[in-house]
Structure 1
């Protein structure tokens, strides 16, 4: 069938082909009607060509948008994969950090307990040393009194020298214990802070 002398009209989804001659033969006014009909036909065909051009442009744009959408989809997939990787690393680091923190806490807790025990021991030693120092002080005072008494009563230089040596030894022992007490108190003060 030759469609060169036909035109077609689209109505919804159906296409109707009408012979141009049958349209022209139906007109009562002849050439004026024919010219008007040709003009409308030309306008319709021009509009159809414009619509086809627009349709092609829209299809091209749609294709471009589809490519962009696919590209964005790929980027989203990459971001999701990267996010999952970073999340996994973060969880691993948190677990490692938590384990290290627990180990450090256990270590420092043990050290603190050890230091507390050592502080208690030093406090006991300091108390005992202070008591011993108090006894030594009383002994020193007693020996000094005996030395003076013997000096007044006795003229035996050997006995006086012997008492003086014992007095010196007790004083040195007393000074040594006082120094030890001072050191313990300093150590205790440092551990309290």
Structure 2
């Protein structure tokens, strides 16, 4: 009976050891699976982050190029506007001179018309003392044409300046709009990157390795962590005037299977001693 009890205890221990090994292998497999999933998720996150950075870098380069182009156009427009303003000032001076000449010729023209109509016959040269060439109608017409051309040129330059100023304003508005769009896209990319990082952290927190289960069930352990079968009172059997006592201290000392490789295939028999009366 003692041998049977010992064999049962050893078999039970071997079963518990096999169960523990199975649970440990399952835990290792699940841990490996979780780690591989984390590695793949990290790789995908890094790839998506690189794609976002490449996309963002390309947009930044495009925006910088647009900014340089707009600045160059604005500088050229300002230079052209300054040159046109100088030319406009010179044209205004010329227009004033022509208007002054025209005002000086108006009295000569008035007396010339009166002479043609049969009134007082008096030479225009005697009135203004400037000679006959100054009161020539052809010269007056040429001055008028020159004045009209100067006014037309002045109006054209003013219109050109207005168009250039409108173009500069449109370029500035386009630049500001593009800058706002790029800023919003940058904020969106930063939010997406932050959300991806948060998701990765949550997955790491949800897939933390669980602690390995205990080798023996607590319901089957004694107060000192030994199997409950070893905690029962000693069995005393009388055989031929002698007492055969099975004591807990005579049970086989089994070390941890993780330290000494277990006791697979070993069978402990005849574990008892006799006490003579």
TM-score, normalised to structure 1, is 0.57
Q: Does 1:163 align with 2:150?
A: yes
Query: What is the alpha-carbon distance in structure 1 between the residues aligned to residue 94 and residue 20 of structure 2?
Result: 106
1-structure distance, mates of 2:73, 2:99: 38
Matched, 1:131 2:79: yes
Aligned position for 2:58: 110
Matched, 1:179 2:127: no
Q: Give the alignment's Cα RMSD to 1 decimal.
A: 3.2
Question: How far apart are 1:67 and its partner, in Å?
Answer: 4.3
* Residue in structure 2 matched with residue 95 of structure 1 by the alignment: 43
Higher relative contact order (CA closer than 8 Å, sequence separation 6+) = 2
Equivalent pair of 1:119/1:191 in contact (CA under 8 Å): no
Unaligned segments of structure 2, at least 5 residues: 104-140, 184-277
Kindly state the Cα deviation for residue 75 of structure 1 after the two structures are TM-superposed: 2.6
User: Post-superposition shift, 1:65?
Assistant: 5.8
1:23-34 to structure 2, matched below 5 A, reads none
What is the aligned counterpart of 1:73 among 15, 21, 36? 21
Task: Tell me which protein shows more helix as a share of its residues.
Answer: 1
| Whole-Å separation in 2 of the counterparts to 1:138 and 1:61 | 113
2:93 maps to which of 135, 138, 145: 145
Instruction: Indicate the SS of the match to 1:104.
Output: helix
Q: Residues 4-27 of structure 1, C-alpha deviation per residue, up to 9 Å, x if partnerless?
A: xxxxxxxxxxxxxxxxxxxxxxxx
Q: CA deviation at 1:174?
A: 0.1
The runs of 5 or more residues in structure 1 that have no matched partner are 1-48
TM-score normalised by structure 2 residue count: 0.42
8 Å CA contact retained: 1:133, 1:177: yes
Conserved? CA contact 1:143–1:167, under 8 Å: yes
